[in-house]
Amino acid sequence: MPDDPIPHWQSLTGPEAAQFARRDPVLVLPLAAIEQHGPHLPLSTDADIGRGLLARAMTRLPADFPVRVLPPLPIGASTEHAHAGLAGTLHVESGDLAAVIVRLGAALAGYGVRRLVLSNSHGGNRHAMETAGLQLRREHGLLVVKATYFSFAPAPDVDLPDSEWRHGLHGGAVETAMMLHLHPDRVRTEQVARFASLGQELEAAGSGILPEGSAAFAWVAGDLNPRGVTGDARLATGEMGRRLVEHYGDTLAAIIRDTRAFPVERLA
């Protein structure tokens, strides 16, 4: 089997984990989703992308950097897809996901861990991350860094229309490109298409109420497009996906380095 660049927490023995925790390490908890991504992408898309970005990030850190990646939570808070009448999505409530994150973080804090990165590849998980992060900070003194890749700055060497960055929220060019790079065999290329978004129509009409932004409306996936996906997947290429994975993965590596350097003693 090819080498796995991800240093897994579960590969340690109990005594090794205790010794590792004494190095003031960074622990990374991957959060994703198993949900419908239209006719062209698999249910595993968010989990596949999240793992691909972490794999890239690990190659950008020194070999002796004190970091371990926890077993992922692949099933996320997918309310917007679970209630859209589209098959395939597995779903937990946001409060339940937050509770699991808190339990895991509390266990780590009990071992002496002080630094936790939530590496997220699904938008619906963000509320749970906010809730859990604050509780872990308040009750266990953890530094919790909430890192959602699509909140990072766009890749400067990826040429996509501004409208695609804003409205290709789910199954569009960005996700399709990364899947073409990471797992081309899982993309149903004959089903790739442009999936128009209600958000684009509203924006073109001059509305300030959009699916994302400063005044966003609550939506389920079918509201934006009957097929539950938005964006122009036809724009995606494997080369574009490589650039995206490298950019987001490198950004994640920088976040992990900054988490290790963060002066936790400055927190009240």
CATH fold of 9-266: Rossmann fold (3.40.50)
Give the per-residue pLDDT at 55: 99
Give the per-residue pLDDT at 185: 98
CA separation for the pair 22, 112 (Å, rounded) = 7
Q: How confident is the model at residue 2 (pLDDT cuts 50, 70, 90)?
A: low
Contacts of 238 (CB under 8 A, 6+ apart): 177, 180, 181, 184
Question: What is the length of the chain?
Answer: 268
Structural domain boundaries in the chain:
9-266
* Element spanning 231, H or E: strand 231-232
Whether 1 shows a pLDDT value over 80: the answer reads no
Q: For the chain, where are the alpha helices, taking DSSP H only?
A: 14-21, 45-59, 79-82, 94-110, 126-140, 162-167, 173-182, 198-204, 221-224, 238-261
Task: Classify 46 as helix, strand or coil.
Answer: helix
Whether 82 shows a pLDDT value over 70: the answer reads yes
Whether 31 shows a pLDDT value over 60: the answer reads yes
